Amino acid sequence: MPGTESARRVNPLRDPRDRRLNRIAGPSSLVLFGVTGDLSRKKLMPAVYDLANRGLLPPSFALVGFARRPWTDEDFVAEVKASVQQYARTPFNEDVWTQLSGGIRFVQGEFGDSEAFAQLKQTVEELDEQRGTQGNHAFYLSIPPKDFEQVCQQLSANGLAQAEPGTWRRVVIEKPFGHDLESARELNNIVESVFPPDSVFRIDHYLGKETVQNILALRFANQMFEPLWNANFVDHVQITMAEDIGIGGRAGYYDGVGAARDVIQNHLLQLLALTAMEEPISFNAEDLRTEKEKVLAAVRLPEDLSTHSARGQYAGGWQGGEKVKGYLEEEGFNPDSTTETYAALRLDIHTRRWAGVPFYLRAGKRLGRRVTEIAVVLKRAPNLLFRDHNDEDFGQNAVVIRVQPDEGATIRFGSKVPGTQMEVRDVTMDFGYGHAFTESSPEAYERLILDVLLGEPPLFPRHQEVELSWKILDPFEEYWARSGTKPETYSPGSWGPASADELLARDGRTWRRP
């Protein structure tokens, strides 16, 4: 891509034998729309500072904010500094801040205000001259999807989306990528009518997490796992994203969306694709995306959606010594809402590797604890030698990848209990990032923003992946809407509704209790 080679610079302060991330972005700016929102304040602006503090941004970098607030450049600099001091991962360094803040600018305006976008164009052109950004600009749309079309049209109409030879322009959009297949296609058409497909970066912050990327290393850099990673040895796979908090003040966003659209369609189906994909021929974007798309295209839905899915809403009650409201009692919610706060699905992948292996996905609020994990559960060993034991006495071996918190991996296997009897009990071997490495993992947004500036999109789903994910989820959403039944209530602090346990019980299995 234009400008990519110039961006692939090596930090001269690093030892060339050091294989950790050692490239810095080339001259460029990041233009943030929605700078007054929580995402920008808590994640994006601190991530920019952390990149600068780690030496991964060049001196010729600029940060531009666009919002309605009547701020001056100085006001915005103060806002960014406050955000950095409160939320940055790395210590505050006055020298780094002085260098970074010299390139911070602010443009006031509404999305429908052409004059504001003309001012934005003038601002980035001035940065090309004053800061040396060399015509390379990324536009981060941290705004509701309903505003994408207007902003993209304004960027195009004011000449901000068009790159001169030897420069680049890119756009970054956050999930949700639509609310069903039709809206996702419409959204893709809007964005890609202005920016070329290779210049569109769809951010799923889960894909920037160190542990998610470690799925590929665990599978393909180790001989011990890949021979077992198939239907000959794997009984089933469970992918869980549990939160111990409720909806809080998110009524405006969450009601009508629900757990399945909010996280299963994107986060959990991406984790499924990385877990089940074949080995790519390289780590470049095209090869990785191709293998993920093959998996998503091979997903087959059960014939009976009613017995292979479950939905729930958390009720009020006590959780962790605190009395909490039920979903329908939260402020701003329709008391007749049928939006689920818990969803579970069974999916099957029709490939030779995974034929007959069910994948169970679940996500929910107000569950027993906050955890995201992938559990690859192996088939039981033949009980030939231990005839005095029932099959149930032996657990099933499992490889568990912990995405958050306590990032790492666990292997569960049977071991003899000390003593004179031949008694076998499940034990675990544990790997934790915090124990194995002295360097803390970067925040997901650090890696993702750097990849945008470098023009390297392997962690970003393209529109084919997004549409395939909606093709998987839409039938469940349509069935739930047709059925007219309300989600089953479940107690706060539990692991979901009884129907979710029944979903696995029909297959003779049970959910893990992380």
Q: pLDDT tens digits for 186-234?
A: 988 989 899 998 899 888 776 767 677 788 888 898 888 989 999 999 9
Contacts with 47 (C-beta within 8 Å, 6 or more apart), sequence order: 443, 445, 446, 449
Sign of CA dihedral 197, 200, 205, 210: positive
Using a 10 angstrom Cβ sphere, with 0-12 exposed, 13-18 middle and 19 or more buried, the burial of residue 334 is exposed
Helix (H, G, I), strand (E, B) or coil at 511: coil
Residue keyed to tokens 């920019």: 48
Q: What DSSP element (H or E) covers 49?
A: helix 45-53
pLDDT, position 437: 61
Homologous superfamily of domain range 208-379+461-505:
Dihydrodipicolinate Reductase; domain 2 (3.30.360.10)
pLDDT in tens, 294-352: 999 999 998 899 999 999 999 999 998 899 999 998 887 788 889 999 999 999 999 99
The alpha carbon torsion through 312, 314, 315, 316 (nearest 10 deg) reads 180
d(CA 374, CA 368): 17
pLDDT, position 383: 67
pLDDT, position 2: 42
pLDDT, position 175: 76
Using a 10 angstrom Cβ sphere, with 0-12 exposed, 13-18 middle and 19 or more buried, the burial of residue 479 is middle
Encoding tokens for residue 450?
């750097």
Residue keyed to tokens 């169970």: 360
254, 339 contact by CB (below 8 A): yes
pLDDT, position 461: 80
pLDDT, position 45: 95
Q: What's the CATH architecture for 4-174?
A: 3-Layer(aba) Sandwich (3.40)
Q: What does the buried/exposed string (b/e) look like for 201-228 if buried means 16 or more CB atoms within 10 Å of the residue's CB?
A: bbbbbbbbbbbbbbbbebbbeeeeeeee
d(CA 258, CA 311): 10
pLDDT, position 348: 97
pLDDT, position 459: 67
**Domain residue ranges in the chain:** 4-174, 208-379+461-505
pLDDT, position 197: 87
Give the helix ranges, DSSP H, for 315-462: 433-436, 444-454
Encoding tokens for residue 279?
């080995």
CB atoms within 10 A of CB 120: 24
Which segments of the chain have a pLDDT < 50?
A: 1-21
| Active-site annotation, residues | 267
d(CA 267, CA 444): 13
